């Protein structure tokens, strides 16, 4: 199979969100998205996706994404866009702009590099 043929594969989701849900103790030196309040934010996002009938959006709880002190973090594919989400308003904006309209929310984008 050549690469052009592979590009024709149908996608399961229009956008697929992976949200870090790792929880470590608050005093853990690595930090964690859970200790930074991720659960309430992801609950809000899941409810918003369902309430707005976004059946072509995948929303998956993920383990640690590797940048624990930068969280709460999620990644949206295609594109591999990393967001730092800290408020309910951030969640609402990502759902409205990125997931519904396909417009990246630049103010929330995290540019991360492996050291
Ligand atoms: S705990 Fe979320 S990136 Fe590590």
Measured in Å, residue 63 CA sits from the centre of ligand 1 at: 7
Q: 39-94, pLDDT tens digit by residue?
A: 999 999 999 999 999 999 999 999 999 999 999 999 999 999 999 999 999 999 99
Domain-located, residue 8 = no
Domain-located, residue 69 = yes
Tokens 């998205």 -> residue: 33
> Does residue 2 surpass a pLDDT of 70?
no
Alpha-carbon distance of 94 to 108, in angstroms, equals: 9
Alpha-carbon distance of 10 to 71, in angstroms, equals: 32
- Nearest protein CA to atom 1 of ligand 1, as residue: 32
Domain-located, residue 10 = no
Question: Burial level of 74, CB count in 10 A (0-12/13-18/19+)?
Answer: buried
> How would residue 4 be classed by pLDDT, with cut points 50, 70 and 90?
low
Average pLDDT, the chain: 93
Alpha-carbon distance of 42 to 92, in angstroms, equals: 11
What is the predicted pLDDT for the residue at 29?
A: 93
Domain-located, residue 40 = yes
């Amino acid at each position: 199979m050549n690469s052009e043929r592979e590009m024709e594969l149908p996608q399961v989701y229009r956008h697929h969100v992976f949200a870090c849900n790792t929880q470590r103790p608050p005093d853990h030196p690595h930090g964690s998205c859970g200790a930074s309040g991720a659960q309430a934010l992801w609950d809000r996002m899941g409810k918003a996706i369902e309430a707005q009938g976004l059946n072509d959006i995948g929303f998956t709880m993920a383990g640690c994404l590797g940048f624990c002190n930068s969280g709460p973090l999620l990644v949206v594919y295609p594109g591999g866009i990393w967001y730092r989400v800290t408020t309910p308003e951030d969640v609402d904006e990502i759902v409205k702009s990125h997931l519904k309209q396909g417009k990246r929310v630049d103010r929330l984008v995290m540019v991360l590099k492996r050291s």
